[in-house]
Amino acid sequence: MPLLEHIQIQQKDSVDLQPLSFSRISFRIFLSLCALFVFLISLSLLSSSFRLLSGEVLNDIISAVSNPFVGLFIGLLVTAIVQKSSMTTAIVVAMVAAGKLSLIHAVPVVIGANIGTTITAMLVSFAHITKKKEFKRATSAAAAHNLFNIFGALVLFPLEFFTHFLTDLALYITQLIKPFSNFTGMGIKGVMDMSVYPVADFFVIVLGSNPFVLLPLAIILLFLSISSFTFILKAVLMGQRWHQLQNFVFGTPLRALNWGIWLTAALQSSSLTTSVTVSLVGTRKVSLKNAFPFILGANIGTTFTAILAAVSQSDTALSIAIVHFLFNFLGVIVLFPLPFLRNFTIKSAQFMGKIAMKNRFFSLLYILLIFFLIPFLLIFWTKN
């Protein structure tokens, strides 16, 4: 390598590794607070929209998800399309808070959304498709995320279907934390009464209380706020020094699990953190065995958005957020401490990676079948 080129690369690296200035961090935190403000406005508009919808439209929505299997596949399909489980669960929380969707009917949609969110990691693995071994490792990492959620659904969905175990446990926990949630909720509600609700009410008045205008607007604002929040905090939390933290983040299983939880909670996007992990595994910077606990932690961290959306709402809305947390938390509690179960998931994912390396069309076919064709056909078949 020529000396001049080597010096230029070193200079570029030294610039890249400089930490963000305090003013830039402060500005980005301010922008993230603005995104949070828009997020809360979108939730308020969603609740208002659902309250204003006619009985016929609501009956169609409720009848669609009254079948738990249809609710499961609707949650999967919608989340696969928008690639944000945070958005799906926030909408579900808003419907529950508006009293238009029962807790029992909302639970399967949330479980489906948990599976649907894994499509992003699967798609990210295609960035490595030109290099066989990289594609194999990246596919294995993405498949580990996907299989964990599928295995969790295979265990917990039938349990919920026959016993309402998750629903009952969530209601019990809601009652236990009710004094604290009421205190927190009153504080948040006080802030929202002075800031968020007046702005949301302004939109409702200006748009003539038309739910068919308010609902698309609320969904657009929700998508933009979550995307902006994720993008802004990514620069603050993951920045240029992220690669220097790799050994520390993935150093031990428990440490990786904790980092997965807190980074994903801060970024409000398991899709982002798991996608980064897929690329790290694909390029051999981290092994799948070391990255898997981080992926498990990301599954818990992603439930923060639903809790944030529900804390100032009704007890039922808080319960559905707790169901989302319990589904991921219980899956981790079962899988993380037991090496043979953890290794089974990892080996299954590596097997899928080997198949994808031999036949790259397999990954595309898997995505089409799991996330689109099977849910769509089962929804159509179940409704008819």
Segment 36-63 shows an average pLDDT of 74
Each residue of 111-163: pLDDT tens digit?
Answer: 999 999 898 889 889 888 888 999 999 999 999 999 999 999 999 999 999 99
* Cα distance between residue 38 and residue 40, in whole Å: 5
Cβ contacts of 127 within 8 Å, gap of 6 or more: 138, 279, 282
Give residue 88's pLDDT: 85
What angle separates helix 315-335 from helix 165-176, to the nearest 10 degrees? 120
For the range 65-68, what are the long-range contacts, defined as Cβ-Cβ under 8 Å and sequence gap of 24 or more? 65/101, 65/105, 65/106, 65/108, 65/109, 66/105, 67/382, 67/383, 68/105, 68/107, 68/108, 68/157, 68/160, 68/161
Tokens of 122: 């699967």
Give residue 219's pLDDT: 83
CB 246 within 8 A of CB 285: yes
Count of CB atoms within 10 A of residue 236's CB?
18
Give residue 233's pLDDT: 60
* Cα distance between residue 118 and residue 51, in whole Å: 31
* Cα distance between residue 339 and residue 316, in whole Å: 36
Segment 20-42 shows an average pLDDT of 77
| Amino acid present at 214 | L
pTM: 0.79
* Cα distance between residue 367 and residue 39, in whole Å: 30
The residue ranges of every structural domain in the chain are 22-233+246-383
Cβ contacts of 373 within 8 Å, gap of 6 or more: none
| Amino acid present at 332 | V
* Cα distance between residue 243 and residue 228, in whole Å: 23
pLDDT band at 353 (very low <50, low <70, confident <90, very high): very high
Each residue of 61-103: pLDDT tens digit?
Answer: 666 778 888 889 888 988 888 777 888 888 888 888 888 888 9
* Cα distance between residue 372 and residue 77, in whole Å: 6
| Amino acid present at 263 | L
Give residue 170's pLDDT: 93
pLDDT for 382 beyond 60: yes
